[in-house]
Structure 1
Amino acid sequence: MFGRRRGKETTAPAEEVEQAEEVPARESGPWDAAEPHPERERVDLGGLRLPVDAGFEIQLTLDGERIAGAVVLFEESALQVQAFAAPKKTGIWDEVRAELAAAVKNAGGTAEERQGPFGTELAAQIPDKETRQPVRYLGVDGPRWFLRAAISGRAALDAGAAETLENVVKDIVVVRGDGPMAPHELIELRLPPEARQAVEGRAPGRDASDLNPFERGPEIAELR
């Protein structure tokens, strides 16, 4: 009888341990490619898988010959996103945010921190000719990567317009890769397979830009 009672006592803690190890899945991203994430239509840009919806226009930002980031245009607003390598155990958003604030202020603009859907963000006013352009800088530290986003246009001030672009950020998938990268090193992007096939199979004499669905997008306070 003692042995049977002992057996019953040992099963209960095991069940409790099993329940304790069940960790609720996150409701939103940005996601790491290695973790479970919702299936939906995304443009495969290599280092980023970017959600697409009706009414979106996607452009690419260029740094010389390489693709450095992507821009989602929606109505009167724009979302620029870039991904960078980061240390394994520490994030870099605090450091990047301070650099961004200093760059904006050195250019004659203003920048202040505030809380947003992704934690601390930077609300900036960037000089643009005779006016100032409002920009929201968002940062998300992931596993060995950092995602930086900049929202400009109407969505920088209008919460209703911003929600659409914030939802894009929440559904981005970052593909860091396993190779060694220095912190702050840009995770390069590439044309999606269908766009590369179109460029490679273009007729002789046609410019590649005729078949490239992307254009050079706006670059907002680019930092090195």
Structure 2
Amino acid sequence: MFGRRKKNSSVKDGGAAEQVVDGAGAEESEYAEESDEFDTGAQRRVNLPPAPRPDGPWDVSEVPGDPAEGRVDLGGIFVPGVEGMELRVEVAGDAIVAATVVLRDSAVQLQAFAAPKKEGIWGEVREEIASGITQQGGIIDEVQGPLGWELRAQVPVPLPDGTRGAQLVRFVGVDGPRWFLRGVISGQGAVQPESAGLLETIFRDTVVVRGEGPMAPRDPIVLKLPNDAQMVPDGVQTEDAEGSRFSGGMGQLERGPEITEVR
């Protein structure tokens, strides 16, 4: 079963389960880096050809056999299925543009975009994300992580008592052949990156289906629901459908977490 919620489809925006910390201590966390440190040398990693992907994510042409084996077929991407996960989809207008895998207290949002044939866009997208967050007063740290270059961010968010806190988020990305796959890791997987191994494995084992049709760079690769999926609106809880391949290991879906948008 799937949850449905509205989503802005921009490659720069990131949505995921919230992990909010008290604003008073935000600057003392491991993410606390001056924004100008991100800019130093960053330009050298922009507009480079896509790097090799020996461990994934995969283009559909690189997967032997059926890419749906062990994965959920969402059309534009095939998402690995693991025990205990919840899968939520996000929409822009009438199109499904992203999927979020939730595992206990962590989540990773997956979204695929068209990209130029011979040029990666992750370096440029990282700069835009970093600029948007720092303009909001957030803090960015660019690091070489398990999935390559990533951004670890403190995104400012309002707290219920009217004060300001920060949501901890990791932005990861990989350039493929004519596509770009972005992941947004949140929850404990962002607070303690060493605990995000299974989410990182899901990201690595995702298969992207770009298609052969013309697409402008950064256009989202539209997804679809599997034939036997049941759509559940925000805020509605249902019992697992007996006999569905989404019961048991997938879990039931609840309202999706709020999205922090970076403009």
TM norm. shorter chain > 0.5:
yes
TM-aligned CA deviation for residue 61 of structure 1:
1.2
| One-letter identity of the residue aligned with 1:29 | G
Cα pair 1:150 1:220 within 8 Å, conserved: no
| One-letter identity of the residue aligned with 1:102 | S
Counterpart selection for 1:35 from 53, 57, 62: 62
The within-5 A match list for 1:166-205 is: 166-195=200-229
The within-5 A match list for 1:213-224 is: 217-218=256-257, 220-222=259-261
Question: Quick one: percent identity of the two aligned structures?
Answer: 50
Corresponding position: 1:153 with 2:187: yes
TM-score (norm 2): 0.66
TM-aligned CA deviation for residue 54 of structure 1:
0.7
Give the structure 1 partner of residue 249 of structure 2: none
TM-aligned CA deviation for residue 26 of structure 1:
6.4
Cα pair 2:147 2:200 within 8 Å, conserved: no
Deviations 1:125-182, CA, capped at 9 Å, x for gaps: 0112132111000010000000000000101122342101000001000000000000
Q: Distance in 1 between matches of 2:182 and 2:151?
A: 11
TM-aligned CA deviation for residue 220 of structure 1:
4.3
The within-5 A match list for 1:21-60 is: 27-37=54-64, 40-60=69-89
Give the structure 2 partner of residue 82 of structure 1: 111
Partner SS state of residue 98, structure 1 = helix
Cα pair 1:31 1:37 within 8 Å, conserved: no
Q: Structure 2: 5+ residue runs without aligned partners?
A: 1-51, 159-163, 232-236, 247-251
TM-score (norm 1): 0.76
Q: Distance in 2 between matches of 1:147 and 1:180?
A: 18
Deviations 1:77-103, CA, capped at 9 Å, x for gaps: 110110000000000001111111111
| One-letter identity of the residue aligned with 2:190 | A
Cα pair 2:133 2:262 within 8 Å, conserved: no
| One-letter identity of the residue aligned with 2:151 | L
Q: CA RMSD in A?
A: 2.6
Q: Distance in 1 between matches of 2:117 and 2:157?
A: 37
Cα pair 1:71 1:78 within 8 Å, conserved: yes
Give the structure 2 partner of residue 13 of structure 1: none
TM-aligned CA deviation for residue 28 of structure 1:
2.0
How many corresponding residue pairs? 190
How has the CA–CA distance of structure 1 residues 49 and 222 changed in structure 2, closer, same or farther, with 3 Å as cutoff?
Answer: farther
- Which structure shows the higher helix fraction? 1
Deviations 1:13-70, CA, capped at 9 Å, x for gaps: xxxxxxxxxxxx9652100001135864111001010011111000011112211100
Give the structure 2 partner of residue 106 of structure 1: 135
Cα pair 1:60 1:214 within 8 Å, conserved: no
Moved over 3 A (4+): 37-40, 209-224
Partner SS state of residue 194, structure 1 = coil
Give the structure 1 partner of residue 95 of structure 2: 66
Q: Structure 1: 5+ residue runs without aligned partners?
A: 1-24, 200-208
Select the structure with the greater relative contact order (CA < 8 A; seq sep ≥ 6).
2
Corresponding position: 1:115 with 2:161: no
Give the structure with higher Rg (CA).
Answer: 1
How has the CA–CA distance of structure 1 residues 42 and 134 changed in structure 2, closer, same or farther, with 3 Å as cutoff?
Answer: same
